Amino acid sequence: MDASTLSAGLISGSSGPLYQRLAEGLRDAVRRGEAGAGSKLPSERDLARLLGVSRTTVIGAYRLLREEGLLESARGSGTRVVASGRWIGPAVPAAALPSGKLPGEPAAGVVDLSGSVVAGPDVVPRLASDITDLHALTTDFGYQPLGLPSLRAQIAARYTRLGLPTTAEEVLVTSGAQQAISLLFTLFGRNGGVIVTENPGYVGALDAAHAAGATLLALPTDAEGIKVGPLRETLARCPVSLLYVMTTCQNPTGAVMSTQRRTEIARLAEHAGVPVVDDTTLADLVFEGRWHPLPTAASGVTIGSLSKLFWPGLRIGWLRAPQALMTRLARLKVVADLGSSHVGQQLASRLLPVSEDMATARREQLTARLDLLTELLRTRLPTWSWARPSGGPFLWVRLPYGEAETFAQLALGYGVQVLPGARTSPDRGFADHLRLSFVHEPATLRVAVDRLGKAWAAFQSGHDAGHLRPFVTA
Ligand SMILES: Cc1ncc(COP(=O)(O)O)c(C=O)c1O
């Protein structure tokens, strides 16, 4: 295909990273039939020249569309369209669907510091092999949307031990904490319901709010999490439906909210009649002490998960909510999937009793790896800055200058994937920040920082993707 055929309106929309806007423009061209299945696209260099964008932008757009299965590239024969327009579905407003790479295995040779996923510890397969009585398991009624009663009781007992008296009826088992967020945001955010979150915040919650059609208001944070002043003003002037916070190990900053701040937030929300959701998915990873439920938790909602202590592949999370909310949430759970897998829940029942030991082990491992990462960064990238997190798997880093999004594209070319700060912010703020996870083995962290150092040197000296060297695989 001649490059000029594709040029008109190929950069779609006016906000968001350029490579994603170009990817959407290319999807549109495929939808319109301008680039049918089998047609060859211009080379990265030609398209970059034609559109007046950097080659990094075109590389990013082509990579995204290859991951979606829309394009394929082969050495020597260029990049071709694989699917025909009919199969890619209608255009969806950019904000309504999460963009970027799907979670999962990084490309071969790439170290992924963008997420917090690691292989499950040995205890998972050991306890899984204990589930021998599948006959007993499969005789109970298969659809239990609220979750297995025994697991719900165990989760309730755990909350009660943490100082929040809870009954099994107040617990709904979900497919990971992500589903708990989606159910709540669907209930409170539909028809533009206003959901207040922290800025920066958890990417998956922002995506869930957009997908639910909610109006998202992201408020500034400091070293303790969401700031009281802006929250007070917002609650006074806006019909807020829901407040979503992470009081312990905020994602991405790793902040832990003080008792005084918790009390103030709880009082403000209660006074405004707004339910508060405390997402405590990362809370077991707090470095010092134990985490405590928000004072509003009895009337609000708490979200938890086994993903960070054990393994995300379990897909076991939950929400604890007052019974008045439970029936409606359970109905949404039925619509979503009729209930979580019983086999996964049986395994979760066996894992919960060892969660304290697991938390201790994870904390020790994470603090050692955080120490290593910060030491490596201080040596290799002395101009980068950060505040030490109080817990969680992430370091929230500030670059001295430049767009983190562009740097992240460049870094991928050097074999390391990082999350640019703009992804954590609905107004695409924090454009000079990166979220780096430190869950990996020490040797992997060393390789990652070495690659980041090389990528930063290239970024600094104004190299663009045209000068990129191949992946460093050592
Ligand atoms: C704050 C927060 N909430 C929810 C999730 C999703 O967790 P799950 O794997 O339980 O769906 C994550 C995952 O990183 C998270 O960081």
Which of 51, 38, 47 lies closest to 9, judged by CA?
A: 51
Helix (H, G, I), strand (E, B) or coil at 201: coil
DSSP state of 15: S
Q: Which atom of ligand 1 is nearest to the CA of 115?
A: 14
Q: pLDDT-derived band of residue 97, with 50, 70 and 90 as boundaries?
A: low
Q: Burial of 109 by CB count in 10 Å (0-12 exposed, 13-18 middle, 19+ buried)? A: exposed
Tell me the percentage of the chain whose pLDDT exceeds 90. 62
Ligand 1: which of 185, 282, 286, 437 to mutate, most ligand atoms within 8 Å of CB?
Answer: 282
Q: How far is the CA of 180 from the centre of ligand 1 (A)?
A: 10
Q: How far is the CA of 178 from the centre of ligand 1 (A)?
A: 6
Ligand 1: which of 256, 307, 311, 319 to mutate, most ligand atoms within 8 Å of CB?
Answer: 307
Q: pLDDT-derived band of residue 467, with 50, 70 and 90 as boundaries?
A: very low
When mean pLDDT is compared over 46-55, 115-124, 185-194, the highest value belongs to 185-194
Q: Cα–Cα distances in Å, from 50 out to 13, 43, 70, 288, 312?
A: 18, 11, 22, 55, 43
pLDDT averaged over the chain? 88
Higher pLDDT pick, 217 / 133 = 217
Q: How far is the CA of 296 from the centre of ligand 1 (A)?
A: 21
Which pair of structure tokens corresponds to residue 278? 């405390």
pLDDT score recorded for residue 469: 40
Which pair of structure tokens corresponds to residue 401? 């200058």
Q: Which atom of ligand 1 is nearest to the CA of 202?
A: 1
Taking the C-alpha atoms of residue 126 and residue 111, their distance in angstroms, rounded to an integer, is 28
Contact 212, 164 (CB under 8 A): no
Taking the C-alpha atoms of residue 299 and residue 321, their distance in angstroms, rounded to an integer, is 7
Q: Cα–Cα distances in Å, from 118 out to 113, 200, 340, 391, 438?
A: 11, 24, 22, 17, 10
AA letter at 124: V
- If you take atom 2 of ligand 1, which residue's CA is the nearest one? 281
Which of 22, 115, 114 lies closest to 63, judged by CA?
A: 22
Q: Is the peptide bond before 200 cis (omega within 30 degrees of 0)?
A: yes
Q: Which atom of ligand 1 is nearest to the CA of 246?
A: 1
Q: Cα–Cα distances in Å, from 378 out to 371, 386, 433?
A: 11, 10, 16
pLDDT (average), residues 447-472: 74
- If you take atom 15 of ligand 1, which residue's CA is the nearest one? 281
Which of 361, 448, 371 lies closest to 121, judged by CA?
A: 361
pLDDT score recorded for residue 18: 84
pLDDT score recorded for residue 16: 72
pLDDT (average), residues 255-265: 94
Contact 116, 284 (CB under 8 A): no
Tens digit of pLDDT for each residue in 11-56?
Answer: 766 667 788 888 888 888 888 778 778 888 999 988 988 888 888 8
Tens digit of pLDDT for each residue in 357-383?
Answer: 999 999 999 999 999 999 999 999 999
| Beta strands in 70-130, from DSSP E residues, in sequence order | 71-74, 78-81, 111-112
AA letter at 217: L
Residues enclosing ligand 1, CB less than 6 A? 116, 176-178, 202, 204, 246, 251, 279, 281-282, 305, 307, 312, 317
Residue 100 has pLDDT above 60, yes or no: yes
Tally of residues, the chain = 474
Q: Burial of 263 by CB count in 10 Å (0-12 exposed, 13-18 middle, 19+ buried)? A: middle
Q: pLDDT-derived band of residue 289, with 50, 70 and 90 as boundaries?
A: confident
Which pair of structure tokens corresponds to residue 118? 């690691």
List of domains in the chain: 3-91 (1.10.10.10), 111-119+357-467 (3.90.1150.10), 123-354 (3.40.640.10)
Rounded to 5°, the CA angle 37-42-44 comes to 120
Higher pLDDT pick, 461 / 451 = 451
Ligand 1: which of 251, 302, 424 to mutate, most ligand atoms within 8 Å of CB?
Answer: 251
Taking the C-alpha atoms of residue 421 and residue 408, their distance in angstroms, rounded to an integer, is 10
Q: How far is the CA of 204 from the centre of ligand 1 (A)?
A: 7
pLDDT score recorded for residue 464: 47
Which of 377, 411, 306, 409 lies closest to 348, judged by CA?
A: 306
Ligand 1: which of 281, 351, 362 to mutate, most ligand atoms within 8 Å of CB?
Answer: 281
Higher pLDDT pick, 109 / 382 = 382
57-66, 127-136, 321-330, 391-400: range with lowest mean pLDDT? 127-136
Tens digit of pLDDT for each residue in 170-188?
Answer: 999 999 999 999 999 999 9
